[in-house]
Amino acid sequence: MNESPSQFRAPVGTHDVLGRQSALWEGLIGTFATLAYRYGFSLVITPLFEDVGVFNRGIGETSEVASKEMYVFTDRGDRTLALRPEGTASVVRAFVQHQPPTPWKAWYVTPAFRYERPQAGRYRQHHQLGVEVLGTDDPAVDVEVIALAWRFYAAIGLQRVRLLINSMGHDECRGRYVALLVTHLGEHEALLCDEHRQTWSANPLRVLDCKRPGCRAVTESGPMLPDHLCDDCRAHFDRVVDGLERLGIQSTLTPRLVRGFDYYTRTTFEFVADALDGAQNAIGGGGRYDKLAEQLGGPATSGIGFGSGIERLLLAREAEGVDGSLVNRTPDVFVVDTTGTDAATLYADQLRVAGLSVQRAYDNRSMKAQMKVADRSGARFAVLVGPTELASSQVTIRDLRSGEVSQTQRSVARDELVSVMLDLVTKK
């Protein structure tokens, strides 16, 4: 599409979705909605902004996202609000507020806002498809949530996806592990990267995530979380991994996978697309957050979910060479009206009421101009109505995809238009 040099453009790190992209988005969202329904989830919609405390408490004030990337603003009533940087904290806030019966299974599609350094696959407004389940810590739910994501990736044509999995343990066993890690990092502080030499004591788990050689070397020789899980957390984790295996879903134990938010407990996971560049290859991620509802002022309630970035899913499809938009968005019929009357409005309405997808031209353009638009629309059939047809209460139907006009064009009585068109479209 041609871009005009107009004064206003979408802000840096954001983009508009239109043209061919819009059918791809619709296909992805539709496929996810269908699967979510199959797995027993219903749609939840929460506000795009919340009291900043929802995110500070939820994802952790010292997390990278809350401390450096959140869009925080004061409204005209002097409230401090933040644009949602992710979906989970808002959904759990809504759960605490409304206390729906549990297990509560909700899915969402939402923009998320993070002040990041924009690059391919990393945006300031991205969009996530996700689910959350509240009210059970049954490992079967972990399996189900991960399986939903896995089946979704397969349904949209991705084949080169790997599942990385870890357990963060619960407060106590993680606490014991963090104490060991702190001792280890303290002993090797001088070798850490510049950033983590300053910050490791405030957030020691982050160092595990760091890919710089210094931090890598230090953590490689240090303690790893899965070796320090308590018996309950270990048993939970084993049941998740075994359960996935029974469904034919292979996971790779990844002890460094600590994820970026403070709310995670026990199972954490990420899906990486091998067709994408390493830095931005996470197409989805999630985990358990058994303390989050309490942290947001509710009763103790376990939870688990995942979010998947729509933009990255589309990049992964493109990188894998997956064709097709998952939905057909070409019209069935294009009505060409050169009578100067409201015939096109009337016929299009009748055909649409009958269930067909119909496009038409506007502004009384010439037959040639309208036919050009009809061809461009990809419609299979054109319904032509000019002065001659109008006078004889007929319409002409033309098959736009076969070459020979004489063989593909026929006149039908105006009253039969809907039934003939339905017949033709369902047979095509």
Task: Answer yes or no whether residue 166 interacts with ligand HAM by CB under 6 A.
Answer: no
Applying CB under 6 A, which of residues 104, 123, 152, 334 lies at the interface with ligand HAM?
123
The residue (of 177 and 264) whose beta carbon lies closer to ligand HAM is 264
Shortest separation between residue 412's beta carbon and ligand HAM, angstroms: 51
Applying CB under 6 A, which of residues 110, 284, 331, 356 lies at the interface with ligand HAM?
284
- C-alpha distances out from residue 129 to 16, 36, 109, 419, 425, Å: 18, 10, 4, 40, 33
Task: Answer yes or no whether residue 282 interacts with ligand HAM by CB under 6 A.
Answer: yes
Residue type, 13: G
Task: Answer yes or no whether residue 307 interacts with ligand HAM by CB under 6 A.
Answer: yes
Shortest separation between residue 260's beta carbon and ligand HAM, angstroms: 6
The residue (of 126 and 228) whose beta carbon lies closer to ligand HAM is 126
Shortest separation between residue 309's beta carbon and ligand HAM, angstroms: 3
Between CA 293 and CA 214 the distance in angstroms is: 37
Between CA 258 and CA 269 the distance in angstroms is: 9
Secondary structure (3-state) at 427:
helix
Applying CB under 6 A, which of residues 26, 61, 64, 116 lies at the interface with ligand HAM?
116
Shortest separation between residue 316's beta carbon and ligand HAM, angstroms: 9
Applying CB under 6 A, which of residues 142, 286, 394, 417 lies at the interface with ligand HAM?
286
In the range 247-276, which residues lie near ligand HAM by CB under 6 A?
260
- Angle, CA 55 vertex, CA 51 and CA 56 arms, to 5°: 100
Applying CB under 6 A, which of residues 58, 130, 169, 243 lies at the interface with ligand HAM?
130
Torsion over CA: 73, 75, 81, 82 (sign) = negative
Where does this chain touch ligand HAM (CB under 6 A) — which range of 49-57, 163-171, 183-191, 284-292?
284-292
Contact 174, 233 (CB under 8 A): no
Torsion over CA: 216, 283, 320, 2 (sign) = negative
76 contact partners, CB below 8 Å, separation of at least 6: none
The residue (of 50 and 389) whose beta carbon lies closer to ligand HAM is 50
Shortest separation between residue 131's beta carbon and ligand HAM, angstroms: 8
Task: Answer yes or no whether residue 56 interacts with ligand HAM by CB under 6 A.
Answer: no
Backbone angles phi, psi at 112, to 5 degrees: -135, 145
Applying CB under 6 A, which of residues 56, 267, 301, 308 lies at the interface with ligand HAM?
308
- Angle, CA 347 vertex, CA 341 and CA 353 arms, to 5°: 145
CA dihedral 83, 86, 87, 93 (to 10 degrees): -60
Length of the chain: 428
Between CA 14 and CA 327 the distance in angstroms is: 25
- In this chain, which residue has its C-beta nearest to ligand HAM? 309
Applying CB under 6 A, which of residues 95, 309, 332, 370 lies at the interface with ligand HAM?
309
Task: Answer yes or no whether residue 305 interacts with ligand HAM by CB under 6 A.
Answer: yes
Shortest separation between residue 82's beta carbon and ligand HAM, angstroms: 14
Contact 164, 272 (CB under 8 A): yes
The residue (of 275 and 343) whose beta carbon lies closer to ligand HAM is 275
C-alpha distance across the termini of the chain, in Å: 31
Where does this chain touch ligand HAM (CB under 6 A) — which range of 33-41, 179-187, 285-293, 350-358?
285-293
The residue (of 265 and 338) whose beta carbon lies closer to ligand HAM is 265
Write the burial class of residue 13 (CB in 10 Å: 0-12 exposed, 13-18 middle, 19+ buried): middle
Task: Answer yes or no whether residue 169 interacts with ligand HAM by CB under 6 A.
Answer: no
The residue (of 139 and 305) whose beta carbon lies closer to ligand HAM is 305
Applying CB under 6 A, which of residues 50, 132, 144, 389 lies at the interface with ligand HAM?
132
In the range 85-114, which residues lie near ligand HAM by CB under 6 A?
86-88, 114
Applying CB under 6 A, which of residues 55, 108, 306, 381 lies at the interface with ligand HAM?
306
Shortest separation between residue 65's beta carbon and ligand HAM, angstroms: 7
23 contact partners, CB below 8 Å, separation of at least 6: 325, 327, 329
Residue type, 203: N
Between CA 273 and CA 335 the distance in angstroms is: 44
Alpha helix ranges (H) inside 162-267? 171-187, 194-199, 204-209, 213-220, 231-246
Residues contributing to the site for ligand HAM (CB under 6 A): 86-88, 114, 116, 121-123, 126, 128, 130, 132, 260, 282-287, 305-309, 311-312
